[in-house]
Amino acid sequence: MPRKQRRGHSAAGGLQAARGSVERYYRDLIQQRDALERQIAALRDALAAMGGAPAPARAVRPAARAPRAAAGPKKFRPGSLKEFICKALSGGDVMAVRDITSSVIKLGYKTQNKTLAKSVGIALAEMKGVVRKLGRGKFKLA
């Protein structure tokens, strides 16, 4: 059953009201920006009159960070599950999750986790670039 439309209220009227609100907000922001630019110019002039060199104008948008250079294999926090997984896989063999889990325990990883294999699987999924997945449940160091 279609809704009854109220008198005097239409979708177009609501859209017009929203557009007017956004336009007012836009004009207010432009006015604030102009006021800030005037204040910055006044401060720059005052600093120049005092003999100080004003700081260079900052770019509107900060520059993007340079990509990090590859610094070799990723390091994990000492004693973490991911570190023990790397140790377990360091032999170079392809291993299943259950084999990695038993190796981690044999290497001395202390845990009371009842679902350690699940945690190992999750950690392996987060170790992209360090560990390579070769098939369903089969992993090797990259």
* Annotated domain spans of the chain: 11-55, 81-141
For 64-96, letters b (16+ CB in 10 Å) and e give eeeeeeeeeeeebeeeebbbbbbebbeeeeebe
Q: Could you read off the pLDDT of 59-79 as tens digits, one per residue?
A: 566 666 666 555 555 678 888
pLDDT at 26 over 70: yes
pTM above 0.75?
no
Q: Name the pLDDT band for 35 (thresholds 50, 70, 90).
A: very high
Show the tokens assigned to 94: 């392809």
Nearest to 130 by CA among 77, 95, 94, 86: 86
Beta strand residue intervals within the chain, DSSP E: 95-96, 131-135, 138-141
Pairing of strands 131-135, 138-141: antiparallel
* φ and ψ at residue 96, rounded to 5 degrees: -85, 165
Mean pLDDT of 39-46: 87
Neighbours of 30 (CB within 10 A): 10
Mean pLDDT of 16-27: 88
What would be the CATH architecture of the domain defined by 81-141? Orthogonal Bundle (1.10)
Give how far the C-alpha of residue 80 lies from the chain's centroid of Cα atoms, to the nearest Å.
22
